[in-house]
Structure 1
Amino acid sequence: MTQLSYQPAFDPYNAMFRLLQLRERSWLTQAVPYDALRIADFFLLFPFFLQDKDIRYKPEHRSIRSVGKKYKAEKPYSRLPDKRTLFRRVEPFQVAAIGSLVNGGFVEADSWEQRIVEATPKEIPNTLLTQLHAENSANSELIDAILKLLMDYPLTGKDGLKDRTGLLEYRYDVV
């Protein structure tokens, strides 16, 4: 018997929806480095990793760990690879999603060539916007926690988002 299972992490359409969720409150107002958006998307996809003891939060953001604990029940029963491996496996789908958003006119193509995600003035269709707002309202605490990471931490260097989360190498960053 063959069994197929769906994993949102490996679906570029789901990745587009998640990136658009973050668009309304983050990269709509200012351009965001691609790697920072990847990290934010990863935690939106796997919120239970926010409780990981390896992540070093600023003292004022330690409450983010408790947000991750609320999503502990969403952790799949099967064994997951370590978070860095999982983060790398999700990247092709994130790239495909951003490429589709560029082709759809929602992301600036010139900025994307520089690995910066910048929103265009193009409006999201109302039916999709309604779904995005509903999903963001249902998970407002999670969205707020992820946006704190995205907005309050630099991406590069010691104590940057790459270093604090352990998802990307920071030691060779130009700072």
Structure 2
Amino acid sequence: MLIYHPAFDANHCLYRIVSILHATNYTPVSWSLLRILDFYYLFPGQLKNIKPWPREIQKFKTHATKIPDQFEDITNPARTFFELQSFQKTAMLELISKGIISKTSFDNDIIELEPNSIATAYIELLETDDFLKSDIFKLITMGLPKVKFSGANGLKSRSGLMEYVYDI
């Protein structure tokens, strides 16, 4: 039996990355942060596992607690996060080759959409996606980027998805 999951679909990854970057109002984000935001886009139920919940986004906590449990059980979220990297990197290179993502910014570990690189019809498509209008997506794209990223109290540590011990 063949089972499909959008996590391992490069085309869906393209859509997720553009959706996230568009929702952040063209504000540049780091590659590592974008990878975490993409993970939570795929597995929003994992937002409940951010411990302790960051004070900076306390107002979003009620949205996280209302997320229904997922159908799939992720026994090792850090491993799943690691496995997603190859799909995310492939999608990123595709977006760079099409001129949608700035290559010079990517070389400096910053991800940003090139101005006017997204067709109007595509933006209209994004505006019809119900998930992109949800409180969960707002938490992912407006809340999480406000949280300190590195160190023992950063998002890397709180999420358990990335190593933070060697952060400066």
TM-score with structure 1 setting the length: 0.85
- Cα 1:137/1:42, change in 2 over 3 Å: closer
Instruction: State how 1:100-115 maps to structure 2 within 5 Å.
Output: 100-115=94-109
Instruction: State how 1:58-77 maps to structure 2 within 5 Å.
Output: 58-59=54-55, 61-62=57-58, 64-73=60-69, 75-77=70-72
Q: Find the counterpart in structure 1 of residue 8 from structure 2.
A: 10
Name the SS for the 2:47 alignment partner.
helix
Q: Which runs of 5+ in 1 are unaligned?
A: none
| Structure 1 position 100, deviation (Å) | 0.8
| Aligned amino acid, residue 8 of structure 2 | F
Alignment of 1:47 with 2:41, yes or no, is no
The 10-residue stretch of structure 1 (127-136 or 95-104) with the greater mean CA deviation from structure 2: 127-136
1:26-60 CA-to-partner distances (Å, cap 9, x unmatched) read 261x22110101111111110011112x5222235
Q: Which runs of 4 or more aligned residues in structure 1 lie more than 6 Å from their structure 2 counterparts after TM superposition? A: none
- % identity of equivalent residues: 27
Residue among 93, 99, 118 paired with 2:93: 99
TM-score with structure 2 setting the length: 0.88
The 10-residue stretch of structure 1 (84-93 or 116-125) with the greater mean CA deviation from structure 2: 116-125
Q: Which runs of 5+ in 2 are unaligned?
A: none
Alignment of 1:126 with 2:126, yes or no, is no
Partners of 1:157 and 1:173 within 8 A in 2: yes
| Aligned amino acid, residue 15 of structure 1 | C
Aligned length: 167
